[in-house]
Amino acid sequence: DPKIIQKPKYLVAVTGSEKILICEQYLGHNAMYWYRQSAKKPLEFMFSYSYQKLMDNQTASSRFQPQSSKKNHLDLQITALKPDDSATYFCASSQVRDSDYTFGSGTRLLVI
């Protein structure tokens, strides 16, 4: 059974629209993260949450907003989508902040 569930697996969106990427972890971890993987770029750290509080935000754009409704949930809302936002978005979690991570299988977003 997958320990980190990301939904949807694939997502096609129109430029200017808004989408929410879902992440749920069933590892009992207290810290959760979002990373982005684009073609020809390294995996890029976006956000970290610890006990449902935002700890670190490395995303320059306010179009990316994490949302944590429950301890084991960390969704990512993206507004005013642009083609450059096309990437695979990975959710991850760890027992405590910045100990060893477990990654989900990602949401592949294509903005047309």
Partner 1 sequence: QQQVRQSPQSLTVWEGETAILNCSYENSAFDYFPWYQQFPGEGPALLISILSVSDKKEDGRFTIFFNKREKKLSLHIADSQPGDSATYFCAASLGAQGLTFGLGTRVSVFP
The residue ranges that bind partner 1 (CB under 8 A) are 4, 33, 35, 40-46, 48, 55-56, 58, 90, 92, 97-98, 100-106
Minimum CB distance to partner 1 smaller for 18 or for 51: 51
In whole angstroms, the minimum distance from the beta carbon of 44 to partner 1 comes to 8
In whole angstroms, the minimum distance from the beta carbon of 108 to partner 1 comes to 9
Minimum CB distance to partner 1 smaller for 19 or for 25: 25
Mention every residue, 6+ apart, whose C-beta is less than 8 A from residue 86: 38, 109, 110, 111
Minimum CB distance to partner 1 smaller for 80 or for 110: 110
Give the Cα-Cα-Cα angle 70, 36, 17 (nearest 5 degrees): 75
State residue 2 phi and psi, 5-degree precision.
Answer: -65, 135
Minimum CB distance to partner 1 smaller for 24 or for 104: 104
In whole angstroms, the minimum distance from the beta carbon of 105 to partner 1 comes to 5
In whole angstroms, the minimum distance from the beta carbon of 80 to partner 1 comes to 24
Contact present, 30 and 95 (Cβ < 8 Å) = yes
